[in-house]
Chains A and B, each alone.
Chain A
Amino acid sequence: MSTPAPKLTVATAWLDGCSGCHMSFLDLDERLMTLVEQVEIVYSPLVDAKTLPAQVDVGILEGSISSEDDLEKARLFRERCAVLISLGDCAVTGNVPAMRNHFKLSEVLDRAYRENVTLQPQIPTRAVPALLTPVKPVHGVVAVDVFIPGCPPSAETIWSILSDVIAGRVPDVSAVTRFGA
């Protein structure tokens, strides 16, 4: 009896995005069963593991680089993942989170935490990562291997591109998705 081939390891992280790309990933539905036969998800908002393993085959990042925590995670993913994927428009272009680049950070914080609250208006400083300016796409801070635009990319798109990456093929991204798809 031959031993089964070792599974590819996959890690995902949710940076400054709405989690919609992870939701779209979950929309793979029954194909998730097929997927876990080929890959092991070793770190993700979708699993319990709290630390990123030292070596991962495929890293997937949702969201833009908006805070020191996002920057740290992106750098760690780049360091430890053989293939790094930007998933969704926020990771690929900056998208909606980057729209705050047109305003001063203090104005943005005031708008969110003072002007629009009625109870204890205050800007959080403890236990939250400092925000960065400007907000950047992931490839603005680390090298990225595969880009999957879309807001969010459909489950079909994610399936098609992940299948290519798992099989070691270069995906034809523009054949299946675009900015804003």
Chain B
Amino acid sequence: MPRPTPQSTVRVVTLRIDDRDLSAREDETLIEVCREHQIPIPSLCQLDGLSVWGGCRLCMVEIAGQGRLVAACSTRVAEGMVVQTDTERLRHYRRTIVELLFAERNHVCAVCVSNGHCELQTLAQRCGVDHVRLPYRQVPYPVDSSHEMFRLDHNRCILCTRCVRVCDEIEGAHTWDIMGRGSDCRVITDLARPWGESDTCTRCGKCVQVCPTGALVKQGTSAGEMVKDQHFLPILARRRQAR
């Protein structure tokens, strides 16, 4: 089958990002153009394939002629746009945002099952966060281990809502949602019932795979959790003997 030809109504615009002249389709966002041209922009809530959320504010960029910063994930390109993605001001804000995330909940990397596979941890390193200047809030959050296959640790959650979006938009189950405001804000399953009691969860695990941190993980991944089940052995052995 021939590939569908791009719609001729979509125009191409030219713009300047970090002193590079680039062209893009007019329906693209700044972050998409940057990703295409290997211009690194940090982000935690944006994920290709999911709808735009614009919540983490890490992809903020400067646009010439505009006083306020804009999120690259939720800003469409425009003809003649002049964009800076890596200024001193942006680096300062990004570093502060990452530090705020670390100070808000309890991201103890050394004892996290996602240590070494965590986007927040990697981003902290990339943004030069070698310590957190703000005092840690030190407020404990609950852990929901009621699900047979997965676990939710609110201490590690940064509220990026990737789980909410993938469950709704890709799996079509809409098990996840958001409840509460400010520091009480948290992701919930069904109507804030334990995940293990959810009627809508299909156990597909997409939420676990898109979670950037150790907030959503597979059960049995932390130290000492591998439970051996050897019931099969005497049963099979007995049946073989009988034969």
Contact = CB atoms under 8 A, between A and B. Distances in A.
Interface centre among A101, A134, A140 (most CB of B within 10 A): A101
B130 A99 contact: no
Given A96-B110, A151-B109, A179-B124, A139 B131 contact: yes
A149 interface: yes
A9 interface: no
B206 interface: no
Contacts of A99: 106, 108, 111
A3 B129 CA distance: 42
A174 interface: yes
A98 interface: yes
Nearest to A89: B110
Interface in B111-142: 111-112, 115-116, 121-122, 124-133, 135-136, 138-140
A149 B111 CA distance: 14
Interface centre among A99, A173, A180 (most CB of B within 10 A): A180
Contact of A96 (B102, B111, B116, B125): B111
A179 B121 contact: yes
Nearest to B114: A180
Contact of B136 (A98, A148, A179, A180): A98
Interface residues of A, number: 27
Contact of B115 (A134, A148, A177, A180): A180
A104 to B, nearest CB: 12
A38 B32 CA distance: 51
A44 interface: no
Nearest to A149: B130
Contacts of A63: none
Nearest to A90: B110
A57 B220 CA distance: 47
Interface in A125-181: 134, 136-137, 139-140, 144, 147-149, 151, 173-174, 177-180
Contact of A180 (B109, B128, B129, B139): B109
Given A98-B138, A102-B138, A174 B109 contact: no
30 contacts: A92-B131, A93-B102, A93-B108, A93-B131, A94-B136, A95-B108, A98-B108, A98-B138, A99-B106, A101-B138, A102-B138, A102-B139, A136-B135, A140-B135, A144-B131, A149-B130, A149-B131, A173-B130, A174-B127, A174-B128, A174-B129, A178-B109, A178-B124, A178-B125, A179-B121, A179-B125, A180-B109, A180-B115, A180-B116, A180-B121
Interface of B: 102, 106-112, 115-116, 121-122, 124-133, 135-136, 138-140
Shortest Cβ-Cβ A-B pairs, 10 listed: A180-B109, A151-B110, A178-B125, A102-B140, A179-B109, A147-B131, A147-B130, A101-B138, A173-B130, A180-B115
